A and B are shown apart, each in its own frame.
Chain A
Amino acid sequence: MILNQSMVAADAFEKHLINRRRKKHWGLKAAGFTLMLTSMVDMFSMLVVFLLQTFSSSPEILVTKGVELPDSITPSVVKEAPVLAISRDGNLYLDQQLVGPTKDVAKKPNELLKKLNVIKKNWAKSHTTPFTGEINLQADRDIKSTVVAQIMGILTSSQFQSIELAVVGHR
């Protein structure tokens, strides 16, 4: 803000600032401090327009640590559903909670099936509509596709038939 140096034609706030400066630096050379308001407002306006354009109101899912999602050129909108994640270190997570090593779960899926049944029961309690079978599956891009296919097979057997494979969108 450019302050008037004279008390004439200054409003109350400017007068206060001038007086304060005079008292503080009495006898000293006044250090000039100018803030270019026009540029600042321009910058703020541009920032607001840019951020409003990139604003997204669609649901977001948390990407599990240790999972680097693959890229896709045909992504769909994310749906709100439980998240099953296969991390690079070979562990399987359901809603950010460790289920166990993926290899072991693929061989003995009892614990995973139990947790999936709990999700189904909770769905039935909170919804009047039939179970949609939607689940988000996050898997690291470098893991074997057969491992993902095995986990998808377990999900299918547990009535989770609509599997949303999480990807990083590049349109």
Chain B
Amino acid sequence: MRKKTGLGQKKELDAQLNLTPFIDLLSTCVCFLLITAVWIEIGTVEVKQSHGTSAAQEKKESYDLDLVFKDPTEMRLNLKKNGKRVKSFKVKDESFEGMLSQLNQTITGQVLTFKKKTIEIATATVTPRSTVDYGSLISTLDVLRKNKIVNIGVLTARGN
């Protein structure tokens, strides 16, 4: 489209986009991004082993939590202060998913608000069983991390 200016000269208003380098650039970008694309997001769940490690030295004088698997659908929670058990909770359900839900409710409702006071869990340790698979262990750690309990250790089970 051309438009007459006040001086009577014709001036081009439309800019022409050179399509060839534009498509070249887009193709190169698409190829590079497709090659470097990450389709599965790999993450990590950090575990600090608290037996004789630096994690134990960082422990504050607050409550600790022990989670002991009895079987995939039953677990016992021991709330400890200075190494002494102050309260024990039993978590059980018919399915593993139900047990996880119960665990979440117990931690939120009874552990983190112990004796109507908000408490801090310095460290949590999980003792697995051979009947519990690794995927279930990670799901249990997820429940703890969801409740902002991040100093987690996994103990070696003595009995099966």
Contact = CB atoms under 8 A, between A and B. Distances in A.
B38 A149 contact: no
Contacts of A161: 48-49, 53-55
A88 B139 CA distance: 19
B39 to A, nearest CB: 8
Interface in B38-76: 38, 40-49, 51-55, 69
Nearest to A13: B20
Main secondary structure of the interface of B (DSSP, over half): mixed
Interface in A119-157: 133, 136, 139-150, 152-153, 155-156
B55 A146 contact: no
B134 A166 contact: no
A145 B46 contact: no
B139 to A, nearest CB: 7
A145 B26 contact: no
B26 A61 contact: no
Main secondary structure of the interface of A (DSSP, over half): mixed
Interface residues on A, range: 35 or more
A140 B137 CA distance: 12
A164 B155 CA distance: 15
B38 A73 contact: no
Contacts of B47: 152, 162-165
- Kindly name the residue among B23, B47, B128 whose own CB sees the greatest number of chain A CB atoms within 10 A: B47
A146 B129 contact: yes
A73 B157 contact: no
Interface residues of B, number: 49
A35 to B, nearest CB: 10
B27 A44 contact: yes
A141 B30 contact: no
B9 interface: no
Nearest to A40: B23
A147 B130 CA distance: 8
B20 to A, nearest CB: 9
B132 A145 contact: yes
A77 interface: yes
Interface of B: 19, 22-23, 26-27, 29-30, 33-34, 36-38, 40-49, 51-55, 69, 128-139, 141-142, 145-146, 154-157, 160
Interface of A: 37, 40-41, 44-45, 47-48, 51-52, 54-56, 60-61, 63, 69-79, 133, 136, 139-150, 152-153, 155-156, 161-169
14 contacts: A40-B23, A47-B33, A74-B142, A76-B46, A79-B44, A144-B128, A145-B129, A149-B128, A161-B54, A162-B46, A162-B47, A162-B48, A165-B44, A167-B45
